[in-house]
Chain A
């Protein structure tokens, strides 16, 4: 392995960016591939699939054997709102492999008693997200119902290219939210990326069930990144 390749790979990993170390096994030469790099043909398809699944794999193209060592950042789930739904979401997100944290400036909600096992920021989203910036390997779920708290975080998530942006509230609530976000400078494409009402439609009623629906939707979106037509479809 080339030392420069290793350093470049580790740099991408430290900066929470996805990268693949592509090694030609016969010669031992390797190179770093970043998401969006243009690689034609069959090899390009294998690279795309590796980025999507996060599974390292060998691939042979035209008689040449390659190994694709894929390093994806661990997905983070940032939840705005220390509410009942979040209490159920926290342990489930952990089991599903997401690093979850909660932001809520309302200190009556954001207490360690209510959330013993999850990083909790009892502050407004603006200062918290300035210190802990969102990125494309983050999901953001805004569940406070309060525009004063949710809106800034939603706009920040859209601007950061978070792979998932969801907002709690009825269609009517969402219509008002869309109006405010457009006024705040969001584009129509960004608005279309918001999942609202939040969660897969599984008929969820209780906060616990809504948490299931949200997590399922996040997994679905994460595992269909870059696959046209799948994101809006039914779960596999």
Chain B
């Protein structure tokens, strides 16, 4: 029985390292701030590659699609972006959080 350290096959930051080592371009999205009943706490990660493969979660499924799309742009131009999601958004019906919370997500390229 080994010590329980990192779950290498499921941990987003371990996966990011592995993807990078395999020569893939990778972006990391991190929940920076939450208000109200946001589903995932600050520090939660989603890792994304240039083909749109992703692992982890920043909202339990509500806005991952939008984050993946932005992340592919971040991989393309290398510029970090700060995204905000919430029910007060104009885009609420498309990528809002059904729980009524708001989150801020920082998306950056790895490397």
A residues with CB within 8 A of B: 1-3, 6-7, 9-10, 13-16, 23, 25, 28, 55-58, 67, 69-70, 73-74, 76, 99, 119, 132
Contacts and interface: CB of A to CB of B under 8 A. Distances in A.
Nearest to B110: A1
Contacts of B41: 55-56
B3 to A, nearest CB: 6
Contact of A58 (B3, B16, B32, B109): B32
> A interface, by DSSP: helix, strand, loop or mixed?
mixed
Nearest to A101: B1
Contacts of A119: 1
Contacts of A3: 17, 20, 110-111
A10 B82 contact: no
A232 B5 CA distance: 30
B6 to A, nearest CB: 5
B13 A6 contact: yes
- 7 smallest beta-carbon distances between A and B, as pairs: A56-B43, A56-B42, A28-B80, A3-B111, A69-B43, A1-B110, A14-B5
Contacts of B92: none
A58 B42 contact: yes
Contacts of A57: 42
Interface of B: 1, 3-6, 13-14, 16-17, 20, 28, 30, 32-33, 41-43, 80, 82, 106, 108-111
Given A14-B6, A58-B42, A67-B32, A9 B1 contact: no
Given A1-B108, A1-B110, A55-B41, A10 B30 contact: no
A57 B30 CA distance: 11
B17 A10 contact: yes
A74 B4 CA distance: 8
Given A9-B13, A67-B106, A15 B1 contact: no
